[in-house]
Structure 1
Amino acid sequence: MNLLPKNDWLDGEDLVGKLMNTFWEDRKMSVDIRDLDDHYEVKADLPGFEKSEISVHYNNDLLSIDAEHTTENEVKDDGRFVRRERSSSAYRRQFVVKDILAEQINAKFENGVLTLKLPKAPHEEKKGNSIAID
């Protein structure tokens, strides 16, 4: 009976933990960030969402993308039975992106993909301070 190596399928995690990690991994917002010469390009996959259900904020070097979607379906059958189904999805991703011209950020949403263009601020060489050693 050596079809499965002893306890290998539970090493480091229990079975429920593995299933839940896979469940949550499948339900996160996928995001790609490209560092281009003069800007960053962010693409977030949000299939099934409407533009009105998405919000984007940039404050104190923190880019936040939030999306929330709720649907309700009601099916009536011969007047005695009512089945009501609801589903809700909410996603939030945050990224630290420094030295951005916040007033020039551009966003568009097409075919379930949110695309953000974050223009880079001109690079300024910052001088460090000399620290005296006691």
Structure 2
Amino acid sequence: MSLLPKNEWLDGEDLVGRLMNTFWDDRKMSVDIRDLEDHYEIKADLPGFEKPEISVRYNNDILSIDAEHTSENEVKDDGHFVRRERSNSAYHRQFVVKSIDEEKITAAFENGVLTLKLPKADYEEKKGKAITID
């Protein structure tokens, strides 16, 4: 007799796989990419990171964002550790972004958000044409 409805995700090995996928999803760098008329705008959430801990590279049409943060928290009592904690966070994301004017790429980091502007190399602002209304 079953008191709870059977859920697919509770079956055998599939449960472990789904839990591990959720575990890694929680540890990914969240990134938004917008395709605007003359450039791409990328925003990556990196809370708790400092600017020197972040590196951005664009090489062979691949944009790489790396961030690594190590922290150590020590509380001492008469020279004996009462508590000592260390943590290390590292993120790495790569995106294929073609036809970029790499000399004009800009980056800013403010309030835990990395903002990149990647100008399109082949963008040409057109004046347009006036249309006569009959």
The bucket for the TM-score relative to the shorter chain is 0.7 to 0.9
**Count of aligned positions:** 124
Alignment-derived partner of residue 103 in structure 2:
103
Q: Any runs of at least 4 consecutive aligned residues in structure 1 with deviations exceeding 4 A, and if so which? A: none
Q: Calculate the aligned-residue CA RMSD, in Å.
A: 2.0
Gaps of 5+ in 2: 124-134
Q: How much has 1:58 moved relative to structure 2?
A: 0.2
Cα deviations by residue, 1:100-132 (Å, 9 ceiling, x for unpaired): 000100000000000000000116xxxxxxxxx
Q: Taking structure 1 as reference, are residues 47 and 5 closer, same or farther at Cα in structure 2, changes over 3 Å only? A: same
Gaps of 5+ in 1: 124-134
| TM-score, reference length from structure 2 | 0.83
Task: Give the conservation status (yes or no) of the 8 Å contact 2:9–2:18.
Answer: no
Alignment-derived partner of residue 120 in structure 1:
120
Matched ranges for 1:4-23 at <5 A: 4-6=4-6, 8-11=8-11, 13-23=13-23
| TM-score, reference length from structure 1 | 0.83
Q: How much has 1:47 moved relative to structure 2?
A: 0.4
- Equivalent residue letter for 2:70: T
Q: Taking structure 1 as reference, are residues 78 and 103 closer, same or farther at Cα in structure 2, changes over 3 Å only? A: same
Pair 1:75 & 2:75 matched? yes
Q: How much has 1:82 moved relative to structure 2?
A: 4.5
Alignment-derived partner of residue 28 in structure 1:
28
